Structure 1
Amino acid sequence: MLEQAEPVGAPVTLRLTGNDSALLRNSAENVKNMLAEIEGTKNITDDTYEYTYEFVVNPKGIKTSIFGISNYELQNEISIALRGRESSTFRDNGKEYPIIAESDIDTKAELENLMIKSQATGRKVLLKEIADIELKSQLPVINKYNGELAISVYSDISDGYSSSKIGSELGQMLKDADFPEGIRYEFNGEPEKIRENFGNIAVAAIFAVLSVYLILLIQFKSFLQPLIILMTVPLAIIGSITGLFLFNQKLSFVAMLGMVSLLGIVVNNAIILIDFINSELEEGKTIKKSCIDAVNKRMRPIMLSTWTTIIGLTPLVYSGSALFTPMAIALMSGLLISTVLTMVVIPVIYSIVMERFVN
């Protein structure tokens, strides 16, 4: 059920770490083969780079000094020969286009026969006479994580499949596999990011509940009545989860955001009821009579305000958006069910708690 969190690159991501590049590459290939065996995976790839070949030029210190060629001049001449240099500018209809002069050096032998000119003496000499040239393979990018070499393996998932389930299957396959010593792995895909985000949402929800309680405490000058009002929060959560289940939606990150947003909405109905009950009590009515009158007289405005909100959210439900649809369903169902339950649960709890408190 846990999907649709923040963008993480791929729903299923496995990070491999170690100090042996060859073992890491082999392990990454094995993981890719495992993913290919799991139903529902597609676009399996990793973030490794292919080896590239580079010319490594090591100047012969004595020879370069004899010919009066500095290391800077040597580097500059080689750079111009291999990468080219802007020699002029072509102008056409007010636009400028650089003209790049490039050589056709492709092999080690051609580079060795490159003529290097000394700016001090004006003499020219073959590159191979003043430097040793090697052709070496190197990685253009080396990924690291916590000081170790790292390779991440990615996989998208087909429609109708769960990243959590695929991750569990891969985890079981990794446990059964004979992983090389010194190679470690950890999941870093969608489910892991969701758990991290849910923790942040939980902190935000707790802070929101405490803030609402403090405001109600100041307003009602009572410790018990704000707690009764906050009983609408679990009612809203029950409603949101029920709505997501009925609409076959996952308990996603955006759905959780919708549920947190409900914290400041659903308490309004309870505030109206409790405030009206208090007003009735001040007129000398009993607690039971005050609760019944509050429900009878406040039901219509409460239900009207709820339905206008639900109607306003309806277009988002049928928008087909993976972002807005779960959030709208969580808001609508949580608001509707909590409103209906509030009209029953809150007066009952108020009656029980306040009668016991008075006694």
Structure 2
Amino acid sequence: ALAAREGTSEVAMAVTAGMLTTVIVLIPVMFSGGYSQQTMRPLNLMISATLVASLLVALTVVPLMASRLLARPHEHRNILERLFSRTDKGVGFLSNLYLAILRTALRWRVAALILAVAFFLVTMKVVKPVIGGELMPPMDTAIVMLEFETPTDAAPAEVEKTLDQVERIVYAQPAVESVSSVVGSEPGQTSFGGGGATAQSGKLTIHLTDRTRRKETIWEIQDQWRSALRKLPGVRSFRISEYGATPVSTTRAPLDIIISGPDSGVVSRLADQCLSALQGQPGLVDVRRSWYFDKTEYHVEVDPALARLYQTTPADVAAELKGAVKGMSGSSMRLEGYLDIPITVQYAGQDISTPAQLSDAYVATRFGPMPIRAMARVDSQRNQPFITRERLRNTIDITGVNRVYTIGQVAKMTQERLAGIHPPAGYSIQVAGTMADMKTGSAEMGKALKIGFVLLYILLVAMFRSFGHPITIMAAIPLAIAGALWGLLLFDKPMCKPATMGLILLGGTIVNNSILLLDFILEARKQGMAKDEAILQSVRLRIRPILMTTVSTIVGLIPLVFEMAVGLERMSPLGIVAAVGLLIGTFLTMVIIPVVYSSMDSVVLAVKQIVSWTQKTEEIGVAK
């Protein structure tokens, strides 16, 4: 019992500090606002509650159980004890290896610090651009969204025929379980946020078997469909993406180039220039524009003089023509318990089936029904099929999907290609889509990261009553971050919101190792131990709890790192960053942190000696 109390009191401060450092960096993320707060707050609350509970157990239940179990005589070891006793040899070997490396590093402190800084800078310079960036990592959701467009003048029967061909291509894939198809749009309706659509557009929602029951990934299946759709006549453009490719529901596509201005003609010409610039860009597929000037409109121009002669008006002609084309309500059918069903009266289909027959429609006049051609002229022109606006400016969208490359890399290449296009005054070209969401999310997480590390520093200052020791402790964070980036590169994952969350969690976790080492060093030096000996003893005696914490954390993250369940792809970067960063950071910090402490202690001692020498010199001068 005495040993349990003494052991608990020895590590209580370090363990409590370790828990608080992790929780305090998570608090700002819970209140970061926007998409980051909504997606990360439940996870952070769970982690924080678990850490607080684990601290209470570590300081109460564990010492109590240890005092009971370890007090029993152990004349004969059981199987588990004999099995795990072999780990002592491994820990002893690592301890001796670390001590040898640490002795060398303490002799060459400047070189060791230069190597650590170089490792961090090279990683940020080389690895970070290679891994790219996403808002959320790609995920095989087993749901594919396929959108296609036919020429704007295509008849409904032609669109249906094209849909049948598209469905045959889709159903040729054995992994398809079900397909839901929608063709056309509701005319005359205003759409907010989703963009316009025409009657010649189609959308398919395709459900596949989950990734554990098929050999091909969802992206390989999409590539097969792309190859087939490019050869399909009647399909002018298409886009294929997995469900959730744009994590924010209001985002139209991963890459969305918004061209806006007062005149639709100029906007359309700018869109053509952008499409030409994007041809052949690596990593960009399914490039399409939202509309063309290809919708035939028929205008009925009424001669005012003839209208007066027939005692009618252009408004009357328009009303008669609307009735001929769309019909008019003549009566309603009433059913008990149901809403009234309107009965529409209109021309027979064969009498108004083509635009050329518009001039044959009749209008009521003082001389009786007269054909429209007697008082009006019907002509046609090409126009855009629908109008899209943003901030009261006409817009056109050029959308695309990133493939192989991350959206951050694709957006950067896109901006470089569009840099040579100079829109006229009053017009703009904006690269939006998921990239814009990434910028917003990065700003939210970056702010939370800064606040978290400031709070971490303040907490360490309060606990160690020093402004220098927190710097020594937090020196482990850059090394762990560099290791985490190498982990993302190794597992082919982008920098994304879960990865950023992992970095914040890693920053609060990796300092626990530094706290364990520094706490022992400070206590040993208070008892009169020499600096270098205290440093070596801290590694020799604290390597076991540090390795136990690191290994147990990494083992717990293995299912997340290797995506052992469907759906873990979304959060696997968090596990990779935490596991690999903790692994590399642990092995580096047990060498670098003692070197940083030794160097800062030497600097402080040198400054004190200089100040003392200066004061003595001044005192001697005054005495003379």
Task: Note whether the superposition's TM-score is higher than 0.5.
Answer: yes
Whole-angstrom distance in 2 between the partners of 1:295 and 1:48: 67
Whole-angstrom distance in 2 between the partners of 1:276 and 1:100: 89
Task: Show the counterpart of 1:314.
Answer: 558
**For each residue in 1:253-304, what CA deviation from the matched residue of structure 2 results, as whole angstroms up to 9, or x when unmatched?**
4323321221221122222222233333343333333322222222111211
**2:598 maps to 1:351:** yes
Task: Show the counterpart of 2:26.
Answer: none
**For each residue in 1:103-134, what CA deviation from the matched residue of structure 2 results, as whole angstroms up to 9, or x when unmatched?**
34777987997899xxxxxxx99998xxx999
Matching residue within 115, 124, 149 for 2:394: 149
- For structure 2, the 5+ residue unaligned runs are 1-130, 137-245, 609-624
Whole-angstrom distance in 2 between the partners of 1:270 and 1:252: 27
**Are residues 97 and 276 of structure 1, via their aligned partners in 2, closer, same or farther at CA, if it must alter by over 3 Å?**
farther
Task: Show the counterpart of 1:215.
Answer: 459
Whole-angstrom distance in 1 between the partners of 2:413 and 2:538: 55
Report the more deviating stretch, 286-295 or 75-84.
75-84
Q: Is the 8 A contact 2:359 2:378 kept in 1?
A: no
**For each residue in 1:156-212, what CA deviation from the matched residue of structure 2 results, as whole angstroms up to 9, or x when unmatched?**
133x235455545544544556x6644432322445543453343322211110011
Q: Is the 8 A contact 1:44 1:155 kept in 2?
A: yes
Whole-angstrom distance in 1 between the partners of 2:492 and 2:406: 14
Task: Show the counterpart of 2:243.
Answer: none
**Are residues 283 and 112 of structure 1, via their aligned partners in 2, closer, same or farther at CA, if it must alter by over 3 Å?**
farther
**For each residue in 1:33-89, what CA deviation from the matched residue of structure 2 results, as whole angstroms up to 9, or x when unmatched?**
44343344321112337657589999x9xx9xxx9xxx9xx9999988876789667
Give SS of 1:188's match.
strand
- Listed as ranges, the matches of 1:230-245 within 5 Å are 230-245=474-489
Task: Show the counterpart of 1:2.
Answer: 132
Give SS of 2:291's match.
coil
Q: Is the 8 A contact 1:249 1:326 kept in 2?
A: yes
Give SS of 2:285's match.
strand
- Identity among equivalent pairs (%): 25
Whole-angstrom distance in 1 between the partners of 2:525 and 2:322: 90
**Are residues 52 and 110 of structure 1, via their aligned partners in 2, closer, same or farther at CA, if it must alter by over 3 Å?**
closer
**Are residues 253 and 55 of structure 1, via their aligned partners in 2, closer, same or farther at CA, if it must alter by over 3 Å?**
same
Q: Is the 8 A contact 1:112 1:133 kept in 2?
A: no
Task: Show the counterpart of 2:272.
Answer: 29
- Listed as ranges, the matches of 1:100-111 within 5 Å are 101=344, 103-104=346-347
Whole-angstrom distance in 2 between the partners of 1:172 and 1:355: 50
- For structure 1, the 5+ residue unaligned runs are 117-123
Give SS of 1:37's match.
coil
- Listed as ranges, the matches of 1:1-359 within 5 Å are 1-5=131-135, 7=246, 8-48=251-291, 51=295, 53=297, 101=344, 103-104=346-347, 141-158=386-403, 160-164=404-408, 166-167=410-411, 169-175=413-419, 181-182=424-425, 183-191=427-435, 193-319=437-563, 322-357=569-604, 359=608
Whole-angstrom distance in 1 between the partners of 2:589 and 2:571: 26
| Matched AA of 1:353 | M
Q: Is the 8 A contact 2:134 2:408 kept in 1?
A: no
Whole-angstrom distance in 1 between the partners of 2:340 and 2:575: 53
Whole-angstrom distance in 2 between the partners of 1:307 and 1:85: 77
Report the more deviating stretch, 79-88 or 144-153.
79-88
**Are residues 302 and 172 of structure 1, via their aligned partners in 2, closer, same or farther at CA, if it must alter by over 3 Å?**
closer
Whole-angstrom distance in 2 between the partners of 1:91 and 1:189: 49
Give, in angstroms, the shift of residue 218 of structure 1.
Answer: 1.6
Whole-angstrom distance in 1 between the partners of 2:276 and 2:449: 42
Whole-angstrom distance in 1 between the partners of 2:583 and 2:411: 35
Give SS of 2:458's match.
helix
Q: Is the 8 A contact 2:406 2:494 kept in 1?
A: no
Whole-angstrom distance in 1 between the partners of 2:326 and 2:548: 73
**For each residue in 1:223-259, what CA deviation from the matched residue of structure 2 results, as whole angstroms up to 9, or x when unmatched?**
1111211111112111112222333333344323321
Q: Is the 8 A contact 2:259 2:271 kept in 1?
A: yes
Whole-angstrom distance in 1 between the partners of 2:516 and 2:463: 12
| Matched AA of 1:283 | Q
Give SS of 2:395's match.
strand
Cα RMSD, aligned residues only = 4.6
Whole-angstrom distance in 2 between the partners of 1:56 and 1:312: 73
Whole-angstrom distance in 1 between the partners of 2:334 and 2:503: 61
Whole-angstrom distance in 2 between the partners of 1:265 and 1:224: 20
| Matched AA of 2:537 | D
Q: Is the 8 A contact 1:4 1:323 kept in 2?
A: no
Whole-angstrom distance in 1 between the partners of 2:600 and 2:423: 63
Whole-angstrom distance in 2 between the partners of 1:101 and 1:162: 54
Higher relative contact order (CA 8 A, sep 6+): 1
Q: Is the 8 A contact 1:4 1:254 kept in 2?
A: no
* TM-score, length basis structure 1: 0.74
Q: Is the 8 A contact 2:134 2:406 kept in 1?
A: no
**Are residues 225 and 161 of structure 1, via their aligned partners in 2, closer, same or farther at CA, if it must alter by over 3 Å?**
closer
Whole-angstrom distance in 2 between the partners of 1:56 and 1:261: 67
Q: Is the 8 A contact 2:502 2:578 kept in 1?
A: yes
* TM-score, length basis structure 2: 0.46
Q: Is the 8 A contact 1:57 1:134 kept in 2?
A: yes
